[in-house]
Copies of this chain bind each other. A is one copy, B any other.
Amino acid sequence: MPEQSSRIAPSAETELRADALRNRQRILHAAREAFATRGIEVPMAAIARRAGVGMATLYRRFPSRESLVTEVFADQFAACGAVVDVALADPDPWRAFRTVVEKVCAMQVADRGFTAAFLTAFPEAVDYEEGRARAERGLDTIVRRAKAAGSLRADFDLADLVLLFKANHGVIADTGDDAADASRRLVAYLLQSFHTTSPTASPTASAEPLPPPPKLGLASLLTR
């Protein structure tokens, strides 16, 4: 194992010529914008044009669409992780849960490409794997705590979060300016279903029995 110092960023951002690095940033910026406004399917050529570089430059820096998407959404995933971390520090379990849900859904609204990346993202993009696992553990903790506090229904399943994110995506997709309103409303409805209103009520028996949860793990957000 001759490697030592270059743990992160294998094909690093260093050891790139000044102009190359500048263009790389430009491409990322342009891609971010393009994905956000036109969705993840925007043609590579459009990104190149917006970035003011040629196709070759784009493809030299990011050999495939996938690698570009991965890179572009890396920090957005990081932001998700941060949301989870903040929530973990919240002493109020229900507020923590609610906040995570609301914030992530708001992120989905803000950047429609983000959700698409979530949902259609490439299973091979193992780069996310670590962060994803961490986020999943965090969410699990938050859910557990909220249940223990009696504010989240006992039959809530982690997969229900996937359900919610996908539903939110559906509400946002192909919806114009009303997307924000629509999303907020959906989230409010679902949170009310998730919430156990009576703090002292029997913690096991929930409002009404539910059909079985889907077998989707959080991974299915990335795995299809």
Residues of chain A touching chain B, judged by Cβ–Cβ distance below 8 Å, are 119-120, 160, 163, 166-171, 173-176, 178, 181-182, 184-186, 188-190, 192-194, 197, 207-208, 210-216, 220, 224
Contacts and interface: CB of A to CB of B under 8 A. Distances in A.
B215 A181 contact: yes
Q: How many protomers of this protein does the assembly include?
A: 2
A143 B83 CA distance: 38
A211 B188 contact: yes
A213 B190 CA distance: 14
Contact of A181 (B120, B186, B212): B212
Contacts of A176: 224
A97 to B, nearest CB: 15
A168 B171 CA distance: 9
Given A160-B185, A178-B216, A192-B193, 11 more contacts: A119-B174, A160-B189, A163-B185, A166-B182, A170-B170, A170-B171, A174-B224, A182-B216, A184-B211, A185-B210, A190-B190
A219 to B, nearest CB: 13
Contacts of A163: 171, 182, 185-186, 189
Contacts of A186: 163, 167
A185 B214 contact: yes
Contacts of A175: 166, 214, 216, 220
Contacts of A220: 175
B173 A185 contact: no
A99 to B, nearest CB: 16
